[in-house]
Amino acid sequence: MYLLLFSVILVLLLAFALNRNIKNLRLESQKQEQGGKRLRFSSLPIHYIYCFILWSVIFSATILCSSFEAPIKYLLSTTFLIGNFFLIRLFYKKKFSAKNHIEGSLKLILSLTAGIGILITIIITASILFEALKFFEFVKLSDFLFGTTWNPQMAITEEQSVGSSAFGVVPVFLGTILITLIAMLIAVPLGIMGAIHLCLYAKPKVRDYIKPILEILAGVPTVVYGYFAVITVAPLFKNIFALINIDVASESALAAGFVMGIMIIPFVLSLTDDALNSVPQALKDGALALGSTKSEMIKKVVLPAAMPSVVGAVILAVSRAIGETMIVVMAAGLVAKLSFNPLESVTTATAQIVTLLVGDQEFNSPKTLAAFALALTLFIFTFIFNIVALVVIKKYKQKYG
């Protein structure tokens, strides 16, 4: 810790001194004329300062991560930083292109960061895949994908566990699709219509107040939405349907999907609002000048032009709904039923993943490995959905771009 603080202070002091020194050298050089022309420099003084800081940070980080003792680290760090000071000063006199060096370094850093993101994605996918393959050593892939009963149980041995359990994923994903569909029926119309109102009808002052209030919903923890679904929404639906003699489960897909839709509204609204605002004003004014009403202008000009971004907002909303966990765990139930009735209790893939990974069972048991099989199936399903959606977006861009 002290070495890090020492290195930071020393780098800042030397960078300040180097900045003043290079500026003085630059002023002196500019006063000298060669063949009637002043000397030209390929880089500004600040570019050399950036080079000094970049090299100092790399070397200091290497020293901090080394296994040398503290006194040796202090000595090496001080020696290099002072040497780096004079090295940059020499490079300036030799007209070293610090600008190109910094730009190349930034490109390399950006490439590394992008590569790290891709590498993490590959590692996550591979880890899920390898664990899922272990599960399919106990359960046939056809039984998992086309089975209509989901009842994972834990027994004394792996053979008994597989024999007394059922790992048919159909009811699990049926419940996932049902709750996601209910959420989209709530979030997409309300989000898009709210964005149209804020963008094209509301006054600027009203917009400045309403949009931040709606976006606050995006920052509410999902466990709060879960409590809201259990305590308020589920009893409300139960009492309403009781008036017409229809029985509703205490943990119903309707309550979970309704609250999830409320949670997703800010995502759809905010992204759609940005898409509508990005449509050139000339298109809107041109449609109105040709005699269109405001509603006709919205339907025939604004929405088609913004459709790729609107579809992107819907994709994000669907992915958010599929991956939601706390609301469905608290409000939808944990029993997998082969039903598409929104008034019954169903379960989702994320809720089952949480259930399977909680407990003291062995990590290599079929019951625990089933969570990875569910995660892999959910990943593939979401991946295919995103590809289809991107194809749709590309077609809209070709048509209205």
Task: Give the residue with greater pLDDT, 118 vs 36.
Answer: 118
**Cβ atoms of 316 and 271 closer than 8 Å:** yes
Which ranges of 139-293 would DSSP assign to H, the alpha helix?
141-146, 158-163, 170-196, 204-216, 222-228, 234-242, 253-277, 281-289
At residue 40, the pLDDT reads 59
Query: What would the two tokens of residue 392 be?
Result: 């749709």
In whole angstroms, how far apart are CA 315 and each of 262, 267, 275, 387, 393? 16, 10, 14, 10, 10
Task: State pLDDT tens for residues 328-365.
Answer: 888 887 888 888 888 888 888 888 888 888 766 667 77
The secondary structure of 295-345 as a DSSP string is: HHHIIIIIHHHHHHHHHHHHHHHHHHHHH--HHHHHHT-S---S---TTS-
Q: Classify 36 as helix, strand or coil.
A: coil
Q: What is the CA radius of gyration of the chain?
A: 31
Query: What would the two tokens of residue 253 be?
Result: 């897909």
At residue 258, the pLDDT reads 93
For residue 275, list its beta bridge partners.
none
> pLDDT category, 280, cuts 50, 70, 90?
confident
Q: Is the pLDDT of residue 39 over 50?
A: yes
Type of residue at 341: N
Q: Would you kindly state where each structural domain of the chain is located, as residue ranges?
A: 2-30+41-96, 169-358
Q: Is the pLDDT of residue 154 over 80?
A: no
For residue 166, list its beta bridge partners.
151
Q: Is the pLDDT of residue 158 over 50?
A: no
pTM of the predicted protein model: 0.75
In whole angstroms, how far apart are CA 397 and each of 283, 299, 393? 16, 17, 6
CATH, domain range 169-358:
1.10.3720.10
